Structure 1
């Protein structure tokens, strides 16, 4: 159980840092016009919100520290 907490915490910590430094993002595709079987789409690059990265850092650090200092 300790090892699982440490590993999950470190993964969340690294993912949070990745998002905070601006590397995390996704693509969203919108349909602009559809006429029968033909459609015109646009793809936008979106970044994850900054608060999501900060939350990942905090939760990841708490889990990792909880795993390190857990007794038993």
Structure 2
């Protein structure tokens, strides 16, 4: 159980840092016009909000500390 907490915590910590330093983004595609089977789409790259990165860092630190300081 300790190892799982430590691995999850470190994963969230690294992911949170990745988002904070501006490397986290996702692609969103939306249909602008559709006539019959033809459609015009637009694709946008959007950044993951920084509050999610901060939350990942905080949760990662808590999980890692919980794994390191648990008695089992």
Whether TM exceeds 0.5 here: the answer is: yes
Name the counterpart of 2:18: 18
Q: Return 5+ residue gaps in structure 2 as ranges.
A: none
**Correspondence 1:54 to 2:54:** yes
SS in 2 for 1:29: strand
SS in 1 for 2:44: strand
SS in 2 for 1:34: strand
Q: How many residues align?
A: 72
SS in 1 for 2:34: strand
Could you state the TM-score of these two structures normalised by the residue count of structure 2?
0.98
Deviation at 1:33, TM superposition (A): 0.5
Name the counterpart of 2:68: 68
Q: Kindly report structure 1 stretches of 4+ aligned residues shifted beyond 4 Å.
A: none
Q: Return 5+ residue gaps in structure 1 as ranges.
A: none
Could you state the TM-score of these two structures normalised by the residue count of structure 1?
0.98
